[in-house]
């Protein structure tokens, strides 16, 4: 008797059942596979929920079709290898893919850590990698055979579950961002999803739920896709956190964004892109804003009129910052760990108190009146990766040797960890919120700001600056007070694609030779950008191939180039009258505390920076009695030049150069988005304020726990209360 052909209604019902089952299994696998994305978003300052929804929406695009293809692939295998074997073959292929990726990833990680020889590493990877693929195939086949041979379905699933747990255990260091950057995060996501799908996609929806699943599962998939991609547009913090950390979701969203980039300017209008005009390639988020031309070039919502007042949030933050300094100001002789501080009266401003405490001392050992001053700004240089602060690799040997001739500040901290707020105080002497400027994301300094260079010019200095970042230019107000602002280092090559330090030093040597012919004292500022991502390789310098290792190479390259300037100035007739101040802007994270890059967190890897001063008659010392701030750079420069600084909130470090043993400074304050740090070394308080306004406090002892892993907030109540009182109350805005 011939087999009856299924009717059209039966075929449709069977197709609906298959779609429902694929939707249910794929949706469940996507929700589980999105966990690493959710953790990555939460660690980077975004929302766990939004990260989970976004990750699930991205994963569902791939895992739902995979769940639908698996049974079709099984039927294809059955046609080739015969009935009864499809399950073993399909499960074996899935397991082999997962185990193969695991083996190759672990092998690549091992080689990256143990060899710096490209040829040897490549050959080893090719030979041993082939063996790893073969071993993975054998292991997958044996496991699938065991699962196939079980008397019950439960036993087979137990075997698959054991493999899944082993894969998760081995890959968890990758999933939790143990360094390696976006590529490693993407590999971890794919490996985790492979382990999940090997268990979930091979299963079946229970018979009792099949009818309901046909309706509910496709709806769940549709809702997840709609809500997930909606949150991409509506949750900028989570989107930024995922972009910084990388991973498969960030990769897919980046591809989708570029697909919406109709005008080819590098920014799309959807899937996280913020291009406000896809018909004009001159308008995109990274475009230079021309204030007053009636066009919002950088898509921030306004034209950036430089004549308007700073926004209300900036004014509020300025008041909060001044209040914080007023409450934290103390006598230089006071102990930094004292439980109370001698705060000024309500009618006295913090800046007036600091000015009276740290005014220029005519009896000082430094002949400050006519010193030449060289200010070196090292963008994105973290202290603990420099030879100055004892790093075990020779990253900055020239600077370390040079710093031995001056005072090194062991615990120097940035004002903030994003570029704008970290650099502005070097130029204006005040935090960004207190500096008159436009309200752009990359603001223009207002003419009302009296910059440090303008103050130095009034003191009789011949002033020159050499900058290497596209924001630090004349039309953005950074040339105020400088006789020359040399922009050639970033004009001659993009600072994120080419090395600029050699061009900076070449330009500085030319300007120094010119300025040396004059009788006026010299103020020369150099800004070096190369330690900022992206990381390039340089001839004769190699610490490894990972981002963290190439970052070390950038530090060594900067050190090598600065050595040329140090040699030239030291050999000049003006050497005996030259003071140097060298500092970092902020640090860089490479997976510590679940974060990559800078700007979001306030842990020491992104907040602690190098800072040292070398000047005539200064005796070598390492000042470690407390913390200092990059906000102190401007007052220190003016004190070295013989000027005063009654209106600046920072503290002159000049007393630490004269008599380091008696100098004390009040605790320092630093900001990031909805985060504040108060450092009363060795204690450090971190305050995080949620969107709902709830404050979370963490307390660390940096002397015993420099990695900031042990929260002492539950056992040091008095210290927690004392430092919490120094946190500015208005920390909800992004102005700091």
Tokens describing residue 173: 């260091």
Torsion of CA 512, 516, 517, 520, to 10 degrees: 120
Per the CB < 8 A criterion, the answer to whether 686 and 675 are in contact is yes
Torsion of CA 406, 408, 412, 415, to 10 degrees: 20
- φ, ψ for residue 589, nearest 5 deg: -100, 145
Are 205 and 353 in the same domain? Answer: no
Answer yes or no: is 708 within a domain: yes
The pLDDT, as a whole number, for residue 56 is: 83
**Domain limit, last residue, from 225, 245, 265:** 245
The pLDDT, as a whole number, for residue 291 is: 54
Tokens describing residue 401: 């040797």
The pLDDT, as a whole number, for residue 31 is: 85
Are 593 and 682 in the same domain? Answer: yes
The pLDDT, as a whole number, for residue 311 is: 39
Tokens describing residue 252: 């897919």
Q: How far apart (Å, rounded) are the C-alpha atoms in residues 55 and 641? A: 55
Are 336 and 452 in the same domain? Answer: yes
Distances (CA, A) of 663 to 9, 436, 602, 660: 88, 32, 26, 5
- How do residues 625-646 score in pLDDT, each as one tens digit? 999 999 999 999 999 999 988 8
The pLDDT, as a whole number, for residue 241 is: 73
Q: Angle at the Cα of 539 (from 536 to 542), degrees rounded to 5?
A: 70
**Domain limit, last residue, from 245, 269, 297:** 245
Are 90 and 225 in the same domain? Answer: yes
Answer yes or no: is 270 within a domain: no
DSSP annotation string for 373-400: EEEEEETT--GGGSGGGT-SS-SSHHHH
| Strand order, beta sheet including 372-378 | 484-486, 462-466, 522-528, 372-378, 578-584, 611-614, 407-409, 621-623
Range of the domain at 169: 8-245
The pLDDT, as a whole number, for residue 306 is: 41
- How do residues 271-328 score in pLDDT, each as one tens digit? 666 666 555 666 666 666 555 555 656 665 554 544 333 333 333 333 343 343 333 3
The pLDDT, as a whole number, for residue 318 is: 37
What residue has token string 């009276």?
Answer: 356
Q: How far apart (Å, rounded) are the C-alpha atoms in residues 370 and 642? A: 8
Indicate the DSSP class of residue 705: -
The pLDDT, as a whole number, for residue 335 is: 33
What number of other Cβ atoms are within 10 A of residue 42's Cβ? Answer: 18
The pLDDT, as a whole number, for residue 228 is: 80
Answer yes or no: is 298 within a domain: no
Q: Count of domains in the chain?
A: 2
Answer yes or no: is 276 within a domain: no
Are 525 and 646 in the same domain? Answer: yes
Q: Angle at the Cα of 452 (from 446 to 455), degrees rounded to 5?
A: 100
Q: How far apart (Å, rounded) are the C-alpha atoms in residues 514 and 492? A: 22
Cα distance between the two ends of the chain:
82
Are 221 and 364 in the same domain? Answer: no
Are 238 and 325 in the same domain? Answer: no
Per the CB < 8 A criterion, the answer to whether 62 and 70 are in contact is no
Are 712 and 607 in the same domain? Answer: yes
pTM for this prediction: 0.56
Answer yes or no: is 338 within a domain: yes
Are 178 and 64 in the same domain? Answer: yes
Answer yes or no: is 303 within a domain: no
Are 238 and 322 in the same domain? Answer: no
Which sign does the torsion angle of CA 353, 359, 361, 362 carry? negative
- Which residue positions in the chain have pLDDT lower than 50? 1, 3, 10, 77-78, 80-82, 116-118, 150-156, 172, 174-180, 303, 305-368, 731-736
Are 491 and 401 in the same domain? Answer: yes
Helix intervals (H) in 235-370: 236-245, 248-259, 312-328, 350-357
Domain with 712 in it: what CATH number?
Answer: 3.40.720.10
Q: How far apart (Å, rounded) are the C-alpha atoms in residues 246 and 303? A: 32
Distances (CA, A) of 259 to 90, 234, 244, 267, 270: 34, 19, 20, 10, 9
Are 639 and 521 in the same domain? Answer: yes
Answer yes or no: is 283 within a domain: no
Answer yes or no: is 258 within a domain: no
**Domain limit, last residue, from 203, 218, 245:** 245
- φ, ψ for residue 679, nearest 5 deg: -115, 110
The pLDDT, as a whole number, for residue 730 is: 56
Q: Coil, helix or strand for 621?
A: strand
Say which residues have a Cβ less than 8 Å from residue 657's Cβ, sequence separation at least 6. Answer: 366, 406, 407, 613, 615, 618
């Amino acid at each position: 008797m011939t087999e009856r052909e299924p009717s059209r209604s039966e075929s449709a019902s069977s197709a609906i059942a298959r779609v429902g089952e694929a939707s249910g299994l794929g949706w469940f696998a996507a929700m589980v596979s999105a966990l690493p994305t959710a953790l990555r978003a939460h660690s980077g300052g975004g929302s766990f929920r939004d990260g989970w929804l976004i990750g699930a929406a991205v994963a569902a695009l791939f895992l739902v079709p995979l769940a639908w293809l698996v049974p079709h692939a099984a039927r294809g295998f059955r046609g080739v290898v015969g009935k009864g074997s499809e399950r073993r073959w399909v499960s074996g292929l899935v397991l082999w893919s997962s185990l193969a990726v695991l083996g190759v990833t672990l092998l690549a990680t091992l080689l990256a850590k143990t060899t710096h020889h490209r040829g040897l590493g490549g050959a080893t990877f090719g030979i041993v990698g082939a063996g790893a693929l073969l071993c993975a195939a054998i292991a997958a086949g044996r496991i699938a055979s065991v699962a196939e041979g079980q008397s019950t379905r439960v036993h087979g699933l137990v075997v698959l579950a054991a493999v899944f747990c082993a894969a998760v255990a081995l890959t968890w260091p990758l999933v939790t961002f143990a360094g390696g950057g976006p590529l490693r995060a993407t590999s971890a996501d794919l490996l985790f999803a492979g382990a999940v799908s090997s268990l979930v996609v091979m299963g079946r929806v229970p018979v009792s739920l099949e009818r309901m699943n046909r309706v509910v599962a496709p709806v769940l998939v549709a809702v997840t896709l709609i809500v997930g991609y909606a949150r991409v547009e509506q949750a900028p913090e989570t989107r930024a956190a995922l972009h910084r950390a990388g991973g498969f979701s960030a990769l897919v969203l980046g591809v989708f964004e570029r697909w919406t980039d109709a005008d080819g300017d590098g920014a799309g209008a959807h899937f996280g892109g913020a291009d406000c005009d896809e018909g004009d390639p001159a308008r995109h988020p990274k475009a230079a804003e021309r204030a007053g031309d009636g066009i919002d070039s950088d898509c921030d919502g306004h034209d950036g009129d430089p004549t308007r007042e700073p926004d209300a949030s900036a004014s509020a933050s300025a008041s909060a910052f001044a209040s914080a300094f007023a409450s934290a100001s103390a006598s230089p002789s006071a102990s930094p760990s004292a439980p109370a501080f001698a705060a000024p009266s309500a009618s006295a401003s913090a800046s007036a108190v600091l000015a009276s405490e740290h005014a220029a001392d005519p009896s000082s050992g430094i002949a400050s009146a006519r010193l030449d001053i060289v200010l070196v700004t090292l963008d994105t240089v973290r202290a603990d990766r420099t030879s100055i602060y004892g790093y075990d690799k020779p990253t900055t040997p020239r600077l370390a040797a040079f710093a031995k001739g001056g005072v090194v500040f062991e615990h120097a901290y940035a004002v903030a960890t994003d570029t704008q707020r970290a650099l502005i105080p070097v130029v204006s002497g005040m935090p960004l919120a207190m500096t008159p400027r436009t309200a752009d994301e990359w603001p223009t300094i207002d003419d009302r700001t009296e910059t440090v260079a303008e103050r130095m010019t009034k003191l009789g200095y011949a002033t020159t600056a050499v900058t290497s970042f596209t924001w630090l230019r004349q039309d953005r107000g950074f040339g105020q007070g400088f006789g020359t602002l040399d922009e050639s280092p970033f004009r001659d090559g993009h600072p994120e694609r080419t090395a600029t330090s050699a061009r900076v030093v070449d330009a500085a040597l030319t300007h120094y030779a010119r300025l040396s012919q004059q009788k006026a004292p010299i103020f020369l500022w150099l800004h070096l950008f190369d330690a900022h991502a992206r990381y390039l390789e340089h001839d004769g310098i190699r610490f490894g191939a990972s981002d963290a290792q190439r970052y070390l190479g950038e530090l060594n390259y900067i050190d090598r180039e600065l050595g040329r300037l140090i040699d030239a100035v030291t050999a000049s007739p003006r050497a005996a009258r030259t003071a140097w101040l060298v500092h970092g802007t902020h640090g860089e994270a490479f997976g510590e505390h679940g974060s990559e890059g800078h700007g979001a967190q306030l842990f020491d890897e992104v907040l602690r920076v190098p800072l040292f001063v070398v000047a005539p008659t200064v005796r070598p010392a390492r000042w470690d009695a407390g913390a200092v701030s990059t906000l102190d750079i401007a007052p220190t420069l003016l004190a070295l030049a013989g000027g005063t600084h009654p209106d600046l909130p920072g503290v002159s470090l000049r007393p630490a150069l004269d008599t380091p043993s008696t100098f004390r400074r009040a605790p320092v304050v630093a900001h990031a988005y909805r985060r504040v740090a108060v450092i009363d070394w060795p204690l450090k308080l971190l305050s995080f304020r949620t969107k709902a306004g709830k404050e979370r406090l963490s307390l660390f002892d940096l002397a015993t726990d420099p990695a900031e892993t042990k929260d002492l907030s539950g056992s040091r109540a008095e210290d927690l209360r004392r430092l919490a009182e120094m946190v500015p109350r208005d920390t909800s805005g992004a102005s700091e």
